[in-house]
Structure 1
Amino acid sequence: MEFRNNQAIYLQIAEMVCENILLSRWPQGDKIPSVRELAVTLEVNPNTVARTYEFLTQKEIIFTKRGMGYFVSEDGKSKAMAFRKEDFLKNDLPLFFQNIDLLNIDFEELKARFEVFKEEKTSTFSVDTKI
């Protein structure tokens, strides 16, 4: 995973965990990788992953079963979506608006491009699900 310089690594890992939950790669109720497993996969210090998991536990996106590991909460998907949505609206959307204003892009062009994006995403997903 390539980390950005403008945000704490544990928060970037939290976004990645939430993405896996939102994409149902890690379904609600299922066990997620241990702190050590994820740290090795991402090539980060286990303390960073532990901080991520503590953060997500506080947000009630994941929970721990003593001696068994971490699991996705039953309402983890909706809480992950709320977390990611809040983060996007607070941090990414203002920069997006700044750029569309600077580049004089109107909402009709954005809407048309978004529709193409959704169509391409849907056709790609359909192909992926057949495999």
Structure 2
Amino acid sequence: MEFKDKQSIYLQIADFICEQILLGKWPPGGRISSVRDLAGELEVNPNTVMRTYEFLQSKDIIFNKRGIGYFSAENAVGLILIYRKERFLENELPEVFKTLYLLKIDISEFQSRYEQFLSGVTPSTN
């Protein structure tokens, strides 16, 4: 995994775990990788993964069955969507708006490009 400088590594690992859950690779209620296994896979210190797991537990996205391992919560997908949406709206969207302003990109052009993007992503209803 390639880590970025702008965000803490444990939060980037949290994003990776959330993506695995959203993609169905670690389904809700299913077991996720152990701290040691994930640390080895991502080539990071196990303490960093442990910090990630503690963070995700605080968000109720994962939980620990003592002696068995970590599992994704049954409602993990909904919780992830809430968490990621909140983070995007508070942290990333203001940067998008700033860039639009600085480059003098009209909101109608932005909306047109977004609609074009959506037409390529969502299935046709015709």
Same fold (TM over 0.5): yes
Q: How does 1:1-131 map to 2 (within 5 A)?
A: 1-122=1-122
Contact 1:18 1:80 in 2 (8 A): yes
- The farther-off stretch of 50-59 and 14-23 is 14-23
Deviation track 1:43-64 (CA, whole Å, cap 9, x = no partner) reads 1111100100011001100001
Q: Which runs of 5+ in 1 are unaligned?
A: 124-131
- The farther-off stretch of 100-109 and 57-66 is 100-109
Contact 1:30 1:71 in 2 (8 A): yes
- Deviation (angstroms), 1:122: 4.0
Aligned residue for 1:70, secondary structure, equals: strand
- The farther-off stretch of 105-114 and 35-44 is 105-114
- Deviation (angstroms), 1:80: 0.9
Quick one: distance in 2 between partners of 1:57 and 1:100? Answer: 36
- Deviation (angstroms), 1:11: 0.8
AA at the equivalent of 2:3: F
Contact 1:13 1:49 in 2 (8 A): yes
AA at the equivalent of 2:49: V
**Normalised TM-score (structure 1):** 0.86
Number of matched pairs: 123
Quick one: distance in 2 between partners of 1:21 and 1:112? Answer: 31
- Deviation (angstroms), 1:23: 2.4
Q: Of Structure 1 and Structure 2, which has the larger fraction of its residues in helix? A: 1
AA at the equivalent of 1:95: E
Aligned residue for 1:71, secondary structure, equals: strand
Aligned residue for 1:105, secondary structure, equals: coil
AA at the equivalent of 2:61: I
